[in-house]
Amino acid sequence: MARVYNFSAGPAVLPEEVLKEAAAEMLDYEGCGMSVMEMSHRSKVFDKIIKKAEADLRDLMGIPDNYKVLFLQGGASLIFASIPMNLMKNKKAGYILTGQWAKKAYQEAKIYGEAVELASSADQTFSYIPDCSDLDIPEDLDYVYICENNTIYGTKYHTLPDTKGKILVADVSSCFLSEPVDVTKYGVLYAGVQKNVGPAGVQIVIIREDLLSDEVLPGTPTMMKFKTHADNDSLYNTPPCYGIYICGKVFKWLKAMGGLSEMKRRNEEKAKVLYDFLDSSALFKGTVRKEDRSLMNVPFVTGDAELDALFVAEAKKAGFENLKGHRTVGGMRASIYNAMPKEGVEALVAFMKKFEEEHK
């Protein structure tokens, strides 16, 4: 068995310990004679799995009691619609456009009401986070929406926008559980788990209780009403059971690693190895304004598309997978999520140095 260093943006690398544990439990989960894939979501065994996953997540993030945790399906992209359907009471919301995922959420919101562009970094191909300290926020906005870590462009908000009292809604898909967060600053935060936490097919929505309501936009499907799932502890219908089980294992792993402060320390240390190299390299360059850099997704270029392609191909041969940049950006991108060991980043940098020597 040979595991590669997998720099995929998502679905992405998971902790080896978690995969091994899941493999060992595949045929017989804790003596019940079946796998977690095969058991009823109403069984006592599964009930314990989902409750423990939620408890560990609450513990990791310090989620206050007045927030609900929902395990949903449909992709983060479906939540782009659930947000306006559930929260657009005045049919007007503000969006900060910092990349493709923010733009898609903004466009989706326009189907349901007025989506106001509050700020954007489109003028410089989303290579920075706009100043959000004094935005012009209309009085009648239902919420302010951000994509907190921009997976494709490699930027992250290091300071949350001043929403002037409006509810903050954040897509945290690619920075979820990478560092501590103050949940009380958000009305809703949500993540597709396939970036940093688990297998594709699970979305985790953390929502303040007072925002759960039966008064949603007319035509909202039952399945897209957050209250449906909150009232039923995410068991209104069959949830993505196996995915939730893996997420639970990752939560347990994160706790054993020392929790989110320790993850932040590790992630900073890891990202620094790559960013320091990019800042000193004569061949490779980071594409993001320094103060807005993401700890999770690191895009870089050589400035020559052919050389970029050669680098990606040679890196692949050397066991570094999925380094090709997003199709809309080009160049390279190394996603270095929680489960990427520091040795993986060090090995990548050593390979980049060698490549630079050979191609300068």
Of all residues in the shown chain, the one whose CB is closest to ligand PLP is 75
Q: Which residues of 218-232 are buried (b: 16+ CB within 10 A; e: fewer)?
A: eebeeebbbbbbbee
Best CA proximity match to 336, nearest among 351, 346, 326, 328: 346
Q: What is the DSSP letter of 207?
A: E
Position among 6, 8, 98, 151 found at the interface with ligand PLP (CB under 6 A): 151
The 162-181 contact track toward ligand PLP, x by CB under 6 A, reads ---------x-xx-------
Q: Which of 56, 68, 92, 101 is catalytic?
A: 101
Q: Determine the 3-state secondary structure of 259 from DSSP.
A: helix
Closest distance between ligand PLP and the C-beta of residue 75, in Å? 3
Listed in sequence order, the residues at least 6 apart from 140 whose beta carbon sits closer than 8 Å to its beta carbon are: 90, 92
Residue 113 Cα to chain centre, angstroms: 26
Best CA proximity match to 203, nearest among 327, 314, 79, 333: 79
Determine if 84 is a binding residue for ligand PLP (CB under 6 A). no
As separate numbers, helices (DSSP H) first and strands (DSSP E) second, the chain gives 9, 14
Position among 195, 225, 227, 270 found at the interface with ligand PLP (CB under 6 A): 195
Determine if 68 is a binding residue for ligand PLP (CB under 6 A). no
In this structure, what token pair is assigned to residue 152?
Answer: 């494709």
Closest distance between ligand PLP and the C-beta of residue 20, in Å? 26
Q: Which of 92, 195, 249, 270 is catalytic?
A: 195
Between 201 and 286, CB nearer to ligand PLP: 201
195 is catalytic: yes
Position among 12, 49, 76, 181 found at the interface with ligand PLP (CB under 6 A): 76
Applying CB under 6 A, the residues found at the interface with ligand PLP are 10, 75-77, 101, 147, 151, 171, 173-174, 192, 195
Provide the annotated active-site residues: 101, 171, 195
